[in-house]
Amino acid sequence: MSYPTNARPPAASKTRHAEIVQQVAERIAVSVSQVIVGKRNEVRMTILGLLSQGHILIEDIPGVGKTMLAKALARSIGSSFSRIQFTPDMLPSDVTGISLFNQKTREFEFRAGPIMAQIVLADEINRATPKTQAALLEAMEERQVTVDGVTYATPDPFLILATQNPIEYEGTFPLPEAQLDRFLLRIQLGYPAPADEMNVLTSQQVTHPLAALYQVVSVQELTAAQAAVREVYVADEVKKYIVDLVNATRTHPDVYLGSSPRGSLALFRTAQARAAMAGREYVIPDDVKALAEVALAHRIIIGPASRIKDVSSRTIVHDVLASTPVPGASAR
């Protein structure tokens, strides 16, 4: 397939945005891949979420490296890291923090919860009650928490990596639609290939490779890369393609509730980041198509009748991609 030249930015726009993003992304990817072996695409998808300033939901079985991925990412960018192990008896204050009365100063002091870190691992998020899960909503959308009427900003950069187990449902609570919608991407790590698993055994024979990781990107460089992503050019035809895809999820016969406008923004931002990571200053439809499943599938609710027939949200996205015309495409 070939695409028209109007996907490119105006000729007068001579920028280095893609170069800035590409360099930062590559350094982080090389660093994290020392720990997460054989999962380069998943690692790059996580970095893409970080550069797009969004949160990521990792849905997978235990033991495939979800925690190590978060720790390696935090160490590579020199950020603070915290882990929240969600359980049914957790309270919202266990996440956000509390105000304690200081007997000496006769004033209330805020004791920050684990959410006030730059990289937050929300482990087994679907084990907490909806009341506790709701404590994350404000932080995920507005990057702040409110405790006893006082608002506290989260640190910058701020990324929540949440995990949930797709197999063991006993003692779990389904994530509310409002919370699912706040995750920029949903990805899976999966089992490593046999050869990669052999490398894991060898690399961890004496020490864990995480101990040898060091900071490869400064906070200033990461912030500059995040700002550069937003400068990547997106033609009106590509924007319309994004909107058409999202609208198609709302009218699909098997769908009870389609993607929200936040899904359009997620696809827009991540497509910009993917283009920049590939060294381009402009988005092409292939960027959108490559990210449609991870950006939209978790925002789609299947109708009851279709759920009985084992229709999945991923199938819906593939149907939508197949039926929505690609802008300006022509066969070679």
Classify residue 7: in a domain, yes or no. no
- Separation CA 222–CA 192 (nearest Å): 29
Q: Decide which of 231, 264, 296 is a domain's last residue.
A: 231
What's residue 5's pLDDT? 46
Q: Does one domain contain both 215 and 322?
A: no
Q: Does one domain contain both 196 and 263?
A: no
Q: Answer for the pair 228, 21: CB distance below 8 angstroms, yes or no.
A: yes
Q: Does one domain contain both 168 and 244?
A: no
Only one residue has tokens 């404000």, namely 138
Q: Does one domain contain both 205 and 251?
A: no
**Residue 36: partners with Cβ closer than 8 Å, 6 or more residues away:** 42, 43, 65, 68, 69, 72, 189
The residues pairing with 133 across neighbouring beta strands, listed in sequence order, are none
Residue ranges of alpha helices (H) inside 12-106 are: 17-32, 40-51, 66-76, 93-96
Q: Decide which of 200, 231, 262 is a domain's last residue.
A: 231
Q: Does one domain contain both 282 and 223?
A: no
Classify residue 332: in a domain, yes or no. no
Q: Does one domain contain both 313 and 250?
A: yes
Q: Answer for the pair 110, 97: CB distance below 8 angstroms, yes or no.
A: yes
Domain enclosing residue 162, as ranges: 14-231
- pLDDT per residue as tens, the chain (332 positions): 445 545 666 544 445 888 999 999 999 999 999 989 888 899 999 999 999 999 999 988 777 888 889 889 999 998 889 999 988 888 888 999 888 888 888 788 888 889 999 999 998 888 888 888 888 888 998 999 988 888 899 998 899 999 887 655 566 777 888 888 999 999 988 888 899 889 888 888 888 888 888 899 998 899 999 999 999 999 999 999 999 999 999 998 988 888 999 999 999 999 999 999 999 999 999 999 999 999 999 999 888 888 788 888 899 999 999 999 998 754 33
Classify residue 170: in a domain, yes or no. yes
Q: Decide which of 170, 202, 231 is a domain's last residue.
A: 231
Q: Does one domain contain both 190 and 240?
A: no
Q: Does one domain contain both 47 and 189?
A: yes
- Separation CA 238–CA 228 (nearest Å): 19
What's residue 159's pLDDT? 92
- Report which residue type is found at 2: S
- Separation CA 76–CA 104 (nearest Å): 40
Q: Does one domain contain both 227 and 307?
A: no
Q: Does one domain contain both 170 and 104?
A: yes
Strands 119-123, 107-112: parallel, antiparallel or unpaired by DSSP? Answer: unpaired
Q: Please state whether the predicted TM-score (pTM) of the whole model is above 0.85.
A: yes
- Report which residue type is found at 271: A
Classify residue 150: in a domain, yes or no. yes
Q: Answer for the pair 277, 48: CB distance below 8 angstroms, yes or no.
A: yes
Q: Does one domain contain both 218 and 240?
A: no
Residue 304, preceding peptide bond in cis (omega within 30° of 0): no
Number of structural domains found in the chain: 2
